[in-house]
Structure 1
Amino acid sequence: MKFNDKRVLVTGGAGFIGSEVVSQLLDEDARVTVLDNFASGKKHYLPSHKKLTVITGDIMDERVVKKAVRDQEIIFNLAALPFIPDSYHYPVDFFKTNTIGNLNVLWEAIKSKSTDVFIQISTSEVYGSAQFTPMDENHPTAPYSTYAVSKLAADRATFTLHKENGIPVVVIRPFNTFGPRYTQPYIIPEIINQMLNGATELSLGNINATRDFTFVSDTANALLKAANEKKAIGEIINIGSGTEIRIQDLAHKIAKVAGKKIKIKTDESRLRPYDVNRLICNNTKAVKLLKWRPRVSIEAGLKITFDWAKKNKVAFNAPFKRWYYKNTDD
């Protein structure tokens, strides 16, 4: 990796994937700046390091973005509102942050004339449910949520500005990422939390849906590789394991890690009105272009995640409006 003394900005760097990206960049001796509003990211997810600068602010604040972007050679844009169920209730907020906020960061990067590569973090959710498998980068985009639509709009805008202004960009579409330092009640944290709270009968939604899970260190490693590969410029690249697992089977894997016997019931209130039923990644492009492969198996990753969760209980009981606008908890 060629990050030695490079000036690197990570928006959303105190979040789940962002904090892992920051950790790996510091291991590569980069000079890292984090821009985060700490709405869901945590300050204690960031290490104390002489090459780390933290700016508290929002990507919707053009003044703060201009300060953060100035002179940055590499930008990883991870800042977003990420939790899909919230997007059903606050669609305007999701478009403001995930689309307009993205444009704020990218436009400042264009004006700064110092950015060598801009890594836009998208999502596999832009594809909707699988129309064929495995899903490659040419899979039709048919987003099922306002969250996914807002991220797809950001993708499109990123490529338009890339073509119009020449800024080097790479769009990365991770499939489901899991691991320690999570910030949202995604399915794996939700299952773990129910178990840690003593549940023997799990309350879940669509247990027959399938997902493709990649451990967070592998996802972050792919982002760093994308920033170092000139052939990746102007490309969309899927990041995923290439395997799928049913949510019901996933729950039993986690139960095995926890040493528990469980039953599962379907909670109708957890079923989405317009749900993605199947996601499985074709990672051929990432393997060929980035020389990337996932290294951590789902079994090993679940063990690491469960052990971390036992030591670091994370509560998910605040509604979106409260945690987004008022959360000051470190």
Structure 2
Amino acid sequence: MKVFLTGADGFIGSHLAEELVRSGHQVRALCIYNSIGSHGWLDTIDKDVKANMEIVMGDIRDPYHMAQLAKGQQAIMHLAALIAIPFSYVAPDLYVQTNIQGTLNLLNAARDAGIERFIHTSTSEVYGTAQYVPMDEGHVLQGQSPYSASKIGADMMVKSFYTSFELPTLTIRPFNTYGPRQSARAVIPTIISQLAAGKKEINLGSLTPTRDFTYVTDTAKGFERALHASTGFGEVTNLGVGFEVTIGQTFDIINELMGAGAVATEDPNRIRPANSEVERLFSNNEKAKTVLGWEPEIKGVEGFRAGLAKTIDWFTNPVNLAKYRPDEYTV
């Protein structure tokens, strides 16, 4: 298919761009405009793969530009967003502008261009702390941070375009994706980069919350499968492993794999406001098996260890590690 992919320069987006090209799709890859012409993580991928993409620069907050870029495409895969939870406490307006208004701009562009399917990226953060586990798509939505509230708004906007205008939408809701190229604001890169820098006291936020970590190539494959789905339109589908682990346990595994002998400490600056912290995430992925024909290849305790080992290998490469600042807390 001819696919317009937003957020292609980001963590998941760059992996998805690769997956789409290797699966035979024609990719128009949107990178955030910047004055130095950087294509983000796409600048680091295989040159032959990148050469098979049409890379464009822009900003989803510009409705006219999005309308132009959507023309001639069959599908829109919308991954562009502001995602850092701590920064959403600082700049909530920007999250509304990007995550809600930006999504609306793309929905309007899709409608005008006659897009055959609009694949939207949600997040497990919209569920908030688990009210029951495993968490299926019917779980209550809780805006426990400005970020999660903005994504709930975007999700509802997408749903409204299905019900109001019959735009063929699918909303994919990934749980906690990890792997090479992830932002330094995420917990796994935070742990690995500090250990790789030789630190013995690792500064983290709360150690007790649980997460359902999904390796990034599994997430990318789930999104690609959405291009082939024949059901699930107007609905949400979780992408998760169905396995939970605490942040403290995650630290222990990485510490062991790296042979670091370090200890984890809770840094007050990294701890979310009490009522904003999501204490537990643990997915039910049965719908993904039915709607997408997808299930994770990397799963369970041993799968998690294997995924972490691959992530460590990437981050500890000096070329990659140089892109991170382990001495600084990235909001």
Whether TM-score is above 0.5 comes out as: yes
* Counterpart for residue 136 of structure 1: 136
Aligned pairs (5 A) from 1:127-206? 127-206=127-206
What is the Cα deviation at residue 235 of structure 1?
Answer: 1.6
- How far apart, in 1, do the equivalents of 2:64 and 2:329 lie? 29
- How far apart, in 2, do the equivalents of 1:152 and 1:184 lie? 24
Q: Does 1:276 align with 2:285?
A: no
What is the Cα deviation at residue 289 of structure 1?
Answer: 2.2
Q: Would the alpha carbon gap of residues 130 and 319 (structure 1) be closer, same or farther in structure 2, given more than 3 Å must change?
A: closer
Q: Would the alpha carbon gap of residues 264 and 50 (structure 1) be closer, same or farther in structure 2, given more than 3 Å must change?
A: closer
Conserved 8 A contact 1:15-1:45: no
- State the identity %: 37
What TM-score do the two structures reach when normalised by structure 2? Answer: 0.91
Conserved 8 A contact 1:176-1:213: yes
In structure 1, the gaps of 5 or more residues are: 1-5, 321-330
Conserved 8 A contact 2:210-2:279: yes
Conserved 8 A contact 1:126-1:152: yes
Stretches of 4+ moved more than 6 A in 1? none
Whichever residue aligns with residue 35 of structure 1, its letter is: L
- How far apart, in 2, do the equivalents of 1:281 and 1:315 lie? 30
What is the Cα deviation at residue 74 of structure 1?
Answer: 1.2
Q: Does 1:249 align with 2:255?
A: no
* Counterpart for residue 107 of structure 1: 108
Secondary structure of the residue aligned to 2:231 is helix
* Counterpart for residue 5 of structure 2: 10
| Aligned match for 1:315, one of 309, 320, 324 | 324
Q: Would the alpha carbon gap of residues 50 and 205 (structure 1) be closer, same or farther in structure 2, given more than 3 Å must change?
A: closer
Secondary structure of the residue aligned to 2:131 is coil
What is the Cα deviation at residue 259 of structure 1?
Answer: 1.8
Secondary structure of the residue aligned to 2:119 is strand
Q: Does 1:207 align with 2:207?
A: yes
- How far apart, in 2, do the equivalents of 1:206 and 1:292 lie? 32
Q: Would the alpha carbon gap of residues 163 and 45 (structure 1) be closer, same or farther in structure 2, given more than 3 Å must change?
A: farther
What is the Cα deviation at residue 315 of structure 1?
Answer: 2.1
Secondary structure of the residue aligned to 2:316 is helix
Cα deviation, 1:48-68, whole Å, max 9, x if unaligned, reads: 344311111100112321222
Whichever residue aligns with residue 73 of structure 1, its letter is: Q
- How far apart, in 1, do the equivalents of 2:17 and 2:216 lie? 12
Whichever residue aligns with residue 41 of structure 2, its letter is: K
Aligned residue pairs total 314
Root mean square deviation of aligned Cα? 1.6
Conserved 8 A contact 2:135-2:283: yes
- How far apart, in 1, do the equivalents of 2:134 and 2:330 lie? 35
Conserved 8 A contact 1:19-1:45: no
- How far apart, in 2, do the equivalents of 1:190 and 1:319 lie? 9
Cα deviation, 1:113-150, whole Å, max 9, x if unaligned, reads: 1x111100000000100011111101100121100110
- How far apart, in 1, do the equivalents of 2:23 and 2:76 lie? 15
Mean alpha-carbon deviation: is it higher for 14-23 or for 310-319? 310-319
Conserved 8 A contact 2:184-2:324: no
Aligned pairs (5 A) from 1:225-240? 225-240=225-240
What is the Cα deviation at residue 31 of structure 1?
Answer: 0.9
Q: Would the alpha carbon gap of residues 245 and 237 (structure 1) be closer, same or farther in structure 2, given more than 3 Å must change?
A: same
What is the Cα deviation at residue 103 of structure 1?
Answer: 0.7
- How far apart, in 2, do the equivalents of 1:95 and 1:307 lie? 36
| Aligned match for 1:32, one of 5, 27, 33 | 27
- How far apart, in 1, do the equivalents of 2:172 and 2:221 lie? 12
What is the Cα deviation at residue 183 of structure 1?
Answer: 2.8
Q: Would the alpha carbon gap of residues 86 and 131 (structure 1) be closer, same or farther in structure 2, given more than 3 Å must change?
A: same
Cα deviation, 1:255-304, whole Å, max 9, x if unaligned, reads: 12212212122212211102111100011111222221110221111111
Secondary structure of the residue aligned to 2:55 is strand
Secondary structure of the residue aligned to 1:282 is coil
| Aligned match for 2:16, one of 6, 10, 21 | 21
Q: Would the alpha carbon gap of residues 109 and 45 (structure 1) be closer, same or farther in structure 2, given more than 3 Å must change?
A: farther
Mean alpha-carbon deviation: is it higher for 229-238 or for 239-248? 229-238
